[in-house]
Chains A and B, each alone.
Chain A
Amino acid sequence: MSGFIQQLLNGLSVGSIYALIALGYTMVYGVLRLINFAHGDVYMVGAMTGIIVSGQATRFEFIKSLPPSVQPLMLFLIILMSSMLICALLGYLIERFAYRPLRKAPKITLLITAIGVSLLIQYGGQSRLVFGPNPRVFPDIIPSYNLIPSISFSNIDALILGLSLVFMGVLFWIVQKTKLGRAMRAVSENPTVASLMGINVNKVISFTFILGSVLAACAGILVGLKNHQADPLMGMQAGIKAFAAAVLGGIGSIPGAVIGGLIIGISEALVKSIDSAYADAISFIILVIILLVKPSGIMGKHQIEKV
């Protein structure tokens, strides 16, 4: 029984990471009807930026002068903020230069471009000028210790769960309560009509990319803290799993992405405890089954194609 609870907790913590990434997929799909293949790589850039910044930040006099109890927290905030900033910029640039020129192009063209952008970030990141081809160690800026006796559940896992909940709450507030959020929902409903109502559609789309990239950066940092390493190819697998989560929850639906992420994370952890070899395939299997049985997902709306 404790083994089951252990896997459940592992699954929850991995699943909330998937949920954070899946939110980016689902929001972009909502406004642009595009599977943003490059999103997983934005998450990778988030983690790698964290490594680079933490290497620099530990040398700051300002950090060293802080009392030891506050130091890790301050360091964590600096890393989180800078990585979010970089990823937001990256997300904006991707949208501005790769996707915006193709606004009126067929969907397949956009999809191929997205694959191209993903490859560009992946292989660009692997070049020695950027991150280098090898996995890099993520420094333990927050010392990790176990919270619950007899079950491995560290303070990092708790941080992952807590922080993802906070970010999801903030996102929900932005989308539901602010003017920009309302504009986002309007664009995802119908971009043409939204622009007739005086909404700057391009601006809203850019904002959506930035929002998604910020969440991906956060996921990248949290994964780095948990796994103690990051590599330039980590985006692909995580991206596809998060995408599976988004589809499972119903692509375009924000609560759906969260539920989908948690389901994918937990089922992966449970499969891993039985036969670790197939853990990577389980998300694909779930993805394929969902696509075949109910392509609109758990929370998605069913769309009827009209002539």
Chain B
Amino acid sequence: MLVIALVGLMILSPICHQYMDPYILDLVMLIGINSCLAISLTLINGMAGQFSLGHAGFMAVGAYVSASLTLFTGPTVFAFLQSLGIPPSVCQVLWFPLIIICGGLAAGTVSLLIGIPTLRLRGDYLAIATLGFGEIIRVVIVNMKSVGGPIGLGPIPEYTTFFWVFGTCVIAAFVILRWVNSTRGNSLYAVREDEIAAVSVGINTTFYKVSAFVVGAFFAGAAGCLYAHRLGRIEPDSFAFIRSVEIVTMVVLGGLGSVSGAVLGAIALTLLSELPRQLKDMESLPVVIQNLSEYRMIIYAVLLIILMILRPQGLLGHREFSLKMFRLRKYTREASAK
């Protein structure tokens, strides 16, 4: 199924790049990157139940490591490959997946170092510790002169295409779903539901918590790499605390612990934050609606509060989106009609 999806994307990708409006394509890719982030965070926050507020930090590590690889070692590697007679377009196709993985591995390594000590903490203490680490990563980047410090890094060649974005997403979703639904992966749910009970039936909770953290950070790093190579420029401020909050909001909106919910949340929130920017240019609309983009963060915040009060489990809860959801409802309706 994974292969079919990837082949399908491979066919779809050139078509999209050929015929889609560049703005819409950009928006779709942004949705893809955000989905990837949300999927990776739902593994940590939803499935393993370890509330992390430092996801932007891992994204930053992935983005910076991959961008510096492209900028500092990329030219030499490309020159070498071209001297072997490989055309530049093929070089790019060979190079990009490599640095996506490098970005992911770097983020994964950092998360391993952070995760082993911090995951002993629980609940809000863990949230604060991860927040602290996320900010420390950002401050360290600001003070690193070699990657541009506060000004940022750029221009980065824009390698990110439709295929890479959604390919990463599909792989992330596939890996995570296959893992948590395996016999061993089910232990993750046990850790979420009751850690003490999980320990007492012989589950190595630390191992599962840390591995969920590392896998989640890996895909966040990959998404960071995609982000850097889409925008062409990165700066430390793009990875501040507010970015982590955005990702958390996506996950929470979709339902903690549901991959399809995370994608749904990413789509909804990306549209919510990007579309009001478009409204600004439409002069036929009333002024209040034109200025909606100014208030988008307020809408975000109100949405978050109302959602928590009215539907704390998110749109989908723990469930995955499937056609069965609708069928089930029909049956119950018929049953109640009888």
**Residues of A that sit less than 8 Å from B by CB:** 34-35, 98, 101-102, 105-113, 115-120, 122-124, 127-128, 236, 240, 243-244, 247, 277-278, 280-281, 284-285, 287-288, 291-292, 295, 305, 307
The stretch from B66-74, B301-309, B316-324 touching chain A is B301-309
Closest to A33 in B: B124
Interface of A is mostly: helix
Residues of B in contact with A (beta carbons under 8 Å apart): 51, 117-118, 120-125, 127-129, 131-133, 135-136, 139-140, 142-143, 196-197, 241-242, 245, 248, 252, 294-295, 297-298, 300-305, 308-309, 312
A280 nearest CB neighbor, chain B only: B139
CB distance from B127 to the nearest CB of A (A): 6
Q: B136 to chain A: which residues have CB within 8 Å?
A: 281, 284-285, 288
A70-B321 Cα distance, complex, nearest whole Å = 69
Are B123 and A107 in touch, CB under 8 angstroms? yes
Q: Given A102-B308, A307-B197, are A123 and B245 also a contact pair (CB < 8 Å)?
A: no
CB <8 Å contact, A111 and B301: no
Smallest CB separation, B272 vs chain A (Å): 14
30 A-B residue pairs with Cβ-Cβ distance under 8 Å, sorted by A, are A34-B124, A98-B309, A102-B312, A105-B308, A106-B312, A108-B124, A109-B308, A109-B312, A112-B248, A112-B304, A113-B304, A113-B308, A115-B304, A118-B301, A119-B245, A119-B297, A119-B300, A120-B305, A122-B297, A123-B295, A123-B297, A123-B298, A127-B295, A240-B135, A243-B128, A247-B128, A280-B139, A281-B135, A285-B136, A291-B121
Question: CA A108 – CA B140 in complex, angstroms?
Answer: 29
Q: Does A105 lie within 8 Å of B312, measured CB to CB?
A: yes
Contact A277 B142 (CB under 8 A): yes
Q: Are A35 and B128 in contact (CB under 8 A)?
A: yes
Q: Which residue of B lies closest to A307 (CB)?
A: B196
- Which of A101, A124, A284 is within 8 Å of B309, CB to CB? A101
List B contacts of A101 (CB < 8 A).
309
Interface centre among A116, A240, A287 (most CB of B within 10 A): A116
B123 in contact with A108 (CB, 8 Å): yes
**Closest beta carbon of chain A to B185's beta carbon, Å:** 22
Chain B positions within 8 Å of A113 at CB level:
304-305, 308-309
Question: In chain A, what residue has the closest Cβ to B143?
Answer: A277
A-B contact number at CB 8 A: 114
Among the listed A119, A128, A292, which residue makes an inter-chain contact with B301, where contact means beta carbons less than 8 Å apart? Answer: A119
Query: In the complex, A111 Cα to B305 Cα: how many Å?
Result: 10
B159 CB → nearest A CB, Å: 32
A118, B245: Cα distance in complex, Å: 11
- Once the chains bind, are B305 and A291 in contact (CB under 8 Å)? no
- Contact at A116–B124, with CB atoms within 8 Å? no
**A291-B118 in contact (CB<8A):** yes
Chain B positions within 8 Å of A105 at CB level: 308, 312
Instruction: Specify which chain B residues have a CB less than 8 angstroms from the CB of A128 in the assembled complex.
Output: 294
**A291 and B301 contact, Cβ closer than 8 Å, known pairs A102-B309, A106-B312:** no
Q: Given the complex of chains A and B, what is the CA–CA distance between A174 and B128 in angstroms? A: 30
Residues in B neighbouring A106, C-beta threshold 8 A: 312
Q: Report the 5 A-B pairs with minimum CB-CB distance, sorted nearest first.
A: A116-B304, A120-B301, A119-B301, A123-B297, A281-B139
How far does the alpha carbon of A295 sit from the alpha carbon of B298 in the complex, in Å? 34
**In contact, A115 and B248 (Cβ under 8 angstroms):** yes
Give the distance in Å from the alpha carbon of A281 to the alpha carbon of B236 in the complex.
Answer: 14
Please give, as numbers and ranges, the residues of chain B lying within 8 Å of A281 by CB-CB distance.
Answer: 135-136, 139-140
6 new A-B pairs (CB below 8 Å) besides A124-B298, A288-B129? A35-B124, A35-B127, A108-B124, A112-B304, A244-B132, A305-B122
The reply to whether B304 and A119 form a contact with Cβ atoms under 8 Å apart is yes
In the docked arrangement, what's the CA distance between A128 and B294, Å? 9
Question: Does B51 lie within 8 Å of A108, measured CB to CB?
Answer: yes
Q: Min CB distance, B68 to chain A, in Å? A: 20
Inter-chain CA distance A122–B304, complex, in Å, is 14
In the bound complex, CA of A116 to CA of B309 (Å): 11
Q: How far is the CA of A108 from the CA of B248 in the complex (A)?
A: 12
B122, B128, B142, B300, most chain A CB atoms within 10 A: B128
Given known contacts A127-B294, A288-B129, A278 and B139 CB-to-CB distance under 8 angstroms: yes
Bound-state Cα–Cα, A247 to B126, Å: 12
Query: What CA separation (Å) do A35 and B127 show in the bound complex?
Result: 10
Q: Distance (Å) between the CB of B203 and the closest chain A CB?
A: 15
Q: Which residue of B lies closest to A293 (CB)?
A: B117
